[in-house]
Amino acid sequence: MELGDRMAVNSMTGFARTNGQYTVEPTTLQDDTLTVAKDIANQTTWSIELRSVNGKGLDIKVRMPNTLEAIEQKIKKQLSSKINRGNVSVNILVKNQETKGTLELNQVAFQDILKAAKTASELSKLPMPSLDALLNMRGVLKEQEAQEDETITKQLHNNILLSLDEVLDAFLIARGEEGAKLQTIITTRLNQIHELTERVTKIAQDQPDQLKQKIKENIALLTQTSQEFDQDRLHQEAMIIAVKADISEELDRLKAHVEQAHDLLGRDEPIGRRLDFLCQEFNREANTLCSKSHSKELTYIGLELKTIIDQLREQVQNIE
């Protein structure tokens, strides 16, 4: 899946890794009589890992060598330009191959050793020592540590930032793929909430008649036990009970919340916070339904609705 094809829903969970390397080519040291290799083929390799889990906001933690401190803020800026939420960990490991500094030839010492070797060869009637043997004599070659080159360091930093772009693209794709799975689950939960709401709507149509019958039975029971029962007060209490049992507003809000959630899922922007808020509203309406229930069936559906909403919220917690 290409970046341009990513779905609107992105997970806050993701992982990606990449490797890179940067090589400075070797040069040579040339003198009037001898050319000596400057073995400074400086190859730097690195690996970058990006991983994240859910979080209330965006929190970026970077672990890397001290030599890269100069680009830490660039790294955070690069990530925050494309990531909106989540606890993000960046781990950069850098390894330099063992390098040698420049080798300087001590010409005076070499000439002295060369003369001594010729004299020894003539006196002993033995072959002259090899060049390698002469160069390995103490004091002939002196190694100087390679000095840090600002241009090379800058190029190395630029290459690492380019690698970060590469791993960031892979990281966003991984988040998008995980988000697509979450979207499927969330859509299923929203459809279940819609189906349960429709069932409650049908039951609610019969609830006034059931409530009316129950009130009549209570009235009959009370009038049998008391001749001085206040009929007007009883009528008022019955009306209050009927109003409190009305769940039409809760049902309307549940349906509106479902529509709004589907609308959010189609937007190409971070929607996790708003979906989380909707889950709170879903739960509020479900609690009210259960408190107003006057039938076992309605109570059962209300509890089932709360279970589905909890499952929905668990998934929403991972949405960016």
27-36, 98-107, 177-186, 290-299: which is most confident:
177-186
pLDDT in tens, 51-92: 999 999 999 999 999 889 999 999 999 999 999 999 999 999
Q: What is the pLDDT of residue 199?
A: 92
pLDDT at 6 over 50: no
pLDDT at 7 over 50: no
Percent of the chain with pLDDT over 70: 75
pLDDT at 24 over 90: no
Does residue 147 or residue 157 have the better pLDDT?
157
pLDDT at 249 over 70: yes
Confidence of residue 196 (pLDDT cuts 50, 70, 90): very high
- SS3 string, the chain, reads CCHHHCCCCCECCEEEEEEEEEEECCEEEECCCCEEEECCCEEEEEEEEEEEECCCCEEEEEECCHHHHHHHHHHHHHHHCCCCCEEEEEEEEEEECCCCCEEEECHHHHHHHHHHHHHHHHHHCCCCCCHHHHHCCCCCEEEECCCCCHHHHHHHHHHHHHHHHHHHHHHHHHHHHHHHHHHHHHHHHHHHHHHHHHHHHHHHHHHHHHHHHHHHHHHHHHHHHCCCCCHHHHHHHHHHHHHHCCCHHHHHHHHHHHHHHHHHHCCCCCCHHHHHHHHHHHHHHHHHHHHHCCCHHHHHHHHHHHHHHHHHHHHHCCEC
112-126, 128-142, 207-221: which is most confident:
112-126
Q: What is the pLDDT of residue 151?
A: 81
Q: Which of 47-51, 107-111, 192-196 has the lowest mean pLDDT?
A: 107-111
